[in-house]
Amino acid sequence: MSHSEAESLHAAAPWWQPRPGRHLSIQGGQALTGIYPVSGAKNAVLALMMSSLLTPGLVTLHNVPCILDVAVLANLLQGLGVNLSWSHGSHGLSVTLCADHVHPARIDRALVTRMRASVLLLGTVLARCGEVWLPMPGGDDIGLRGIDFHIAGLRAMGARIDLDGGVVHATAPEGLHGADIRLPFPSVGATQNLLLAAVLAQGTTVIRNAAREPENIDLAQCLGQMGAVISGIGSDELTIEGGRVLGGAVHQVMPDRIELGTMACAAATTDGELLLRHGRMELLGAAAPLFGAAGVELREVADGVIARRAAGGLRGTDIVTGPYPGFATDLQSPAMALLAMAPGASAVTETMFEQRFRHVDELRKMGANISVQGRTGFIRGVPHLAGARVTATDVRAAAALVLAGLAAQGETILDGLDHLDRGYDRMEEKLGACGARLRRGDRFEG
């Protein structure tokens, strides 16, 4: 990241600073014990920040995670004319967004290509302004995550959309109108985009086969506070009575269920015990019983979830990812790191994204016995992993490799830290407070 890019991000999100060091050194073998606070959900906060574009009123979000993706989106929204005011308090990091004036032609291509969630500008800016030019979004390189579902749904609502030179140009000269839309697959992003557009569209919109993820529930509840009329929240059929004038809202971002599941695995693999403060078991869906089958003991208490290794130890099990309430694809990488150290055989099948096994080669460098056939990884648990130099290829792979390094014998050097910073709020500091030995550095000898 250049100095000018860093200055631009800091101007939009003054709490953000480039993290020093190009790699993370992890000394494994330390049992994690203590309190690990689960931050606000990355997959919820980005859509919630986008919702501010739908109203001239003030939208205040509490429990915002201090992550790079939030800083990038803040910079992107600021370029569109949104004013952001940040504060720290009893609710953690908070932001108040004011979008009383939106400039639809000022979407920064460089910022859009850094994050997948920028696709939500398509629905929000189009609904608010009637026109939008959006460069094709970026994000993790985990497969062909096209926006066909988004475009088809918006066209059903009256949008005219052209794709030329890597830019989506959408117009709604007569405004968006309600439509009956069936998604071919319960896509989280498409459900969010169509929901955000539908609350300002005239008439009734029905989204069938909608994604049921908790992050979508969080978004719908926030939109409800702003004055939107949405029924079926939490189900696979959303009905939106559009055309309301939306106002402001104050909303608490839900806890990050992916961070919760990842740190539960970390507690079990290191044979420690963590209180995952603010975590909620029901957010894990099918992951909770599957973690239990793998030897991760979870117990809900008043202020979170206690995670540790079960008395019978880790053990192999089979996992198939799927839409919520199925096993989250974002937990597949950490689960594979756990199962690499679980006695017996396991199989992990990835149904969501075709390139989400890129962490397998890195785990093999650490001694994992994993083979891949198509979309299934076959694992034979080994007694221990050994430290090695590895590289993160996406946000969730970064967390999985930290988890593996914490449990491995010797030192692990992790490169690709931008991925870690994109999705995890102060992970090293929070792990360090629980006994982990890890530090960032600029040099690596050997």
Element (H, E) at 262: helix 257-269
- Beta carbons of 435 and 272 less than 8 angstroms apart: yes
pLDDT of the residue at 138: 58
- What does the radius of gyration of the chain's CA atoms come to, in whole angstroms? 21
- Beta carbons of 435 and 81 less than 8 angstroms apart: no
What is the topology classification, in CATH, of domain 42-252? UDP-n-acetylglucosamine1-carboxyvinyl-transferase; Chain (3.65.10)
Q: What is the pTM of this model?
A: 0.95
Q: Please give the CATH architecture assigned to the domain spanning 3-39+255-441.
A: Alpha-beta prism (3.65)
The token pair that represents 191 in the structure block: 């459900």
Q: Side chain identity at 243, as an amino acid letter?
A: G
Of 180, 212, 201, the closest CA to residue 246 belongs to: 201
pLDDT of the residue at 113: 82
Give the CA distances from residue 277 to residues 259, 265, 308, 322, in Å, rounded to whole numbers and listed in that order. 11, 15, 14, 26
Neighbours of 361 (CB within 10 A): 14
The rounded distance, in Å, linking the Cα atoms of 401 and 427 is 13
Domain spans of the chain?
Answer: 3-39+255-441, 42-252
Say yes or no: do domains 3-39+255-441 and 42-252 share a fold. Answer: yes
Stretches where the chain sits below pLDDT 70 are 1, 138-145, 355, 443-446
Number of H helices, E strands in the chain: 15, 23
Using CB atoms within 10 Å of the CB of residue 83, give its burial: 0 to 12 exposed, 13 to 18 middle, 19+ buried: middle
Contacts of 136 (CB under 8 A, 6+ apart): 112, 113, 147, 166, 167, 168
pLDDT of the residue at 364: 98
The rounded distance, in Å, linking the Cα atoms of 38 and 7 is 28
